[in-house]
Amino acid sequence: MEGVVTIKDVAQKAGVVKSTVSNVLTGRKFVSETLKKKVLDACRELNFHPNFYAAGLSGGKSDIIALVLESNDDVGRTFYSELVMSCLKQASANGYSLLIYYSSDNDKLINILRQGNAPIDGAVIMSPCVNDERLEQIESDRIPCVVVGRPENDYLSYVDIDNKKLVRDVCEALNKNKDKEIYLINSHFDLTISHDRQKSFAEYCAACGTDAQTHSFVSKNSDENDGYLLSRDIVKKSAVIITANASLAKGVYRAAEEKGLKVGEDVAVFALGRHQEHGTFAPKLSYAYQDYSVLGKQAIDLLIEEIDNGHSGRNVLIDSQPTFTQSVEKFL
Amino acid sequence: MEGVVTIKDVAQKAGVVKSTVSNVLTGRKFVSETLKKKVLDACRELNFHPNFYAAGLSGGKSDIIALVLESNDDVGRTFYSELVMSCLKQASANGYSLLIYYSSDNDKLINILRQGNAPIDGAVIMSPCVNDERLEQIESDRIPCVVVGRPENDYLSYVDIDNKKLVRDVCEALNKNKDKEIYLINSHFDLTISHDRQKSFAEYCAACGTDAQTHSFVSKNSDENDGYLLSRDIVKKSAVIITANASLAKGVYRAAEEKGLKVGEDVAVFALGRHQEHGTFAPKLSYAYQDYSVLGKQAIDLLIEEIDNGHSGRNVLIDSQPTFTQSVEKFL
DNA sequence: CTGTTAGCGCTTTCAG
DNA sequence: CTGAAAGCGCTAACAG
């Protein structure tokens, strides 16, 4: 009784033929109750478990979802770990295991997405991985994919923070009477997130009769120094400065201090992206919390939908709740 | 040029036969440089990528490591997430992807470990999953496995905190002059960790001439109430009470307060297991930090060793550094 | 409703 | 050193 137990053994034991066993197991074809029971009993007695590779080779599902992460960016552990854990939880809740690819080899990462190259039914991809034309090449025999963060390509579904709404909300909240000078210090334009924010900001400016051109800036490194340099000339009484992240905001604080302006009182500062504390801010920085748990969960849900029903073209935008604290206190 | 590109296509293009391509790709047999180049070129031109399932079916490696978690216990997210992230990092560093199974179906979890039932070269298993005789059944055709935490079975390698050393160190540190009454409030004996701690404590008692029997207790629920009930009769001046976890310690604090005893001064309290803040303790609780990052990393290392060289029977014990603070202040 | 047959794409004998 | 053929275990046509 040694060696691997195959459906052939089960078939013999149950007194049927291989395909009947297969039909019982996959449930794709009707089999009489009597035979079904015989087969199931035989499976149990022989302790049969189907071979994963063989099933996959002949077109079965793997019940595995991939999470594709690029390991180049150091974007902090807590960030990834929240996404990973929420994907894991949601995938498991739906009967899937989670296979995590974490590599800096973009080529390798992309090849995973081809049909049959990896034991997966679909993949959730962290945005940076897909800024690549090669993805387009394999469009034909690609497995279902969902991207976290809006990708440049328009043929992939995605889940993202609703950045446009966020920017609009923040602008409106901090410039209720449209009597303030409002500015956006954006991150580099390689990121689609920057485009979305810029666009929304421009729309807001248009509605206010403000010149968006002179009121928005693109930062190269998105760091404190950039924030300082770009805000130096614009910080003034009654200015609202919205930055792409907390580091840039830090620079704005410095510029304000240099001019003897009080953040929260003379000038409002708000960071659009902020996940955890990046150092301390006095007065406390207002920001929008990026909830990667929700992103992960929604991505898995959307992916499973695509696995089951094919590409829907549906995308999911998630509301990001701005937290208004000391740094905008007098502007609310 | 459509459809899936197989080695057959590559062979045709390169003007050789299938097996030659295979030999070049797997490198298991010598092939002349000229042909090798031809084949490799053909692969590149056709953008060939081997089919994962087919390779697996014929005995190839998957370069995937499984992490098997049981989802029954609510043992806090931070706990698992540290383990997951460290395994992910270490696996990736060695060219492996990490496939996470997170289920409450112990049966399903165990079947994964059979050869060919899942696309994995080996598995890291969180301890609770393996307390099961069924594992023994599949001993013959099981993939390489490493357990985090000492399993009951002696045929699996494992990585664990060195609990024996920890208990000994703590006992010695808090009872330098052997003039204190020292107690152990252990967790339930289903856990091998409790056995290890008990054993070490008994050894220490023997060396001190203390009766271990009357100085150690088994808690059923390992919660605050258990800690309170079990310690009520033993808290007294100059008592050292070591608990299995922070919840039990909380109960000891309560018992001490009830008797008007000061923790850290009249009575020492130390928690062997503690990963993060479980509420606040005043005075601050002394405890041993369980570093799951190290456990994960070591588990992966050991597993890869087994995948490469077969079962070594080697286990890894990790030092846990006790942190002595206010709750044992006057006992040091 | 059940049984036969032909592959899935790859590795691996075993002859040339 | 290279080529033909067998088969891994399963599913999916198709014929009974």
Same domain, residue pair A136 and A174: no
pLDDT recorded at residue A8:
87
Among B161, B151, B174, B185, which Cα is nearest to B264's?
A: B174
Query: For position B34, which CATH number holds?
Result: 1.10.260.40
List residues of A whose CB lies inside 8 A of any B CB.
2, 4, 47, 49-54, 56-57, 62, 64, 71, 77, 80-81, 84-85, 88-89, 92, 97-103, 111, 114-119, 137, 140-141
CB contact under 8 A, A100 and B97: yes
Same domain, residue pair A65 and A141: yes
pLDDT recorded at residue A232:
96
| pLDDT beyond 60 at B74 | no
Residue nearest the C1' of D5 (CA based): B19
pLDDT recorded at residue B1:
44
For the ranges A189-193, B2-6, B90-94, B294-298, which has the lowest average pLDDT? B2-6
pLDDT recorded at residue A294:
96
Mean predicted confidence (pLDDT) in B178-203: 94
CB contact under 8 A, A50 and B97: no
Write out pLDDT tens, residues A279-306.
789 999 999 988 899 999 999 999 999 9
Residue A161 exposed, middle or buried by CB count within 10 Å (0-12, 13-18, 19+): buried
The three-state secondary structure class of B241 is strand
| pLDDT beyond 70 at A262 | yes
pLDDT bracket for residue A77 (50, 70, 90): low
The share of chain B scoring above pLDDT 70, in percent, equals: 96
pLDDT recorded at residue A119:
97
Query: For position A228, which CATH number holds?
Result: 3.40.50.2300
Residue finishing a domain among B49, B65, B80: B49
Residue finishing a domain among B32, B49, B66: B49
| pLDDT beyond 50 at A100 | yes
At which residue do the structure tokens 């334009």 appear?
Answer: A189
Helix H, strand E, coil C: the string for B195-216 is HHHHHHHHHHHHHHCCCHHHHE
Write out pLDDT tens, residues A34-58.
888 888 988 898 888 999 999 998 8
The mean of the pLDDT values for chain A is 90
Same domain, residue pair B285 and B168: yes
Judging contacts by C-beta atoms under 8 Å, the chain B residues touching residue A137 are 47
* A4 nearest nt, CA–C1': D9
Same domain, residue pair A131 and A38: no
Question: How many domains would you assign to chain A?
Answer: 3
**Domain limits at B13?**
1-49
Same domain, residue pair A282 and A186: yes
CB contact under 8 A, A97 and B99: yes
For the ranges A152-156, A175-179, A276-280, which has the lowest average pLDDT? A276-280
* B22 nearest nt, CA–C1': C11
d(CA B46, CA B202): 68
Same domain, residue pair B104 and B36: no
Same domain, residue pair A151 and A243: no
Mean predicted confidence (pLDDT) in A267-283: 83
Note the pTM of the prediction, 2 decimals: 0.92
| pLDDT beyond 50 at A194 | yes
Helix H, strand E, coil C: the string for chain A is CCCCCCHHHHHHHHCCCHHHHHHHHHCCCCCCHHHHHHHHHHHHHHCCCCCHHHHHHCCCCCCEEEEEEECCCCCCHHHHHHHHHHHHHHHHHCCCEEEEEEECCHHHHHHCCECCCCCCCEEEEEHHHHCCCHHHHCCCCECCEEEECCCCCCCCEEEEECHHHHHHHHHHHHCCCCCCEEEEEECCCCCHHHHHHHHHHHHHHHHHCCCHHHHEEECCCCCHHHHHHHHCCCCCCCEEEEEEEHHHHHHHHHHHHHCCCCECCCEEEEEEEECCCCCCCCCCCEEEECCHHHHHHHHHHHHHHHHHHCCCCCCEEECCCEECCHHHHHHC
Write out pLDDT tens, residues A55-69.
998 888 999 999 999
Residue with the bigger pLDDT between B29 and A97: it is A97
Write out pLDDT tens, residues B310-323.
999 899 999 998 99
| pLDDT beyond 60 at A277 | no
Judging contacts by C-beta atoms under 8 Å, the chain A residues touching residue B57 are 51, 53-54, 57
Q: Which nucleotides of D are covered by protein (CB under 7 A)?
A: 1-13
Q: CA of B66: which chain A residue's CA is closest?
A: A99
pLDDT recorded at residue B278:
62
CB contact under 8 A, A84 and B80: no
Tokens of B37: 């180049």
Tokens of B295: 């456990």
Same domain, residue pair A190 and A202: yes
Same domain, residue pair A268 and A173: yes
Same domain, residue pair B224 and B327: yes
Same domain, residue pair B300 and B156: yes
Mean predicted confidence (pLDDT) in B209-214: 94
pLDDT recorded at residue A1:
44
| pLDDT beyond 90 at A17 | no
Same domain, residue pair A133 and A198: no
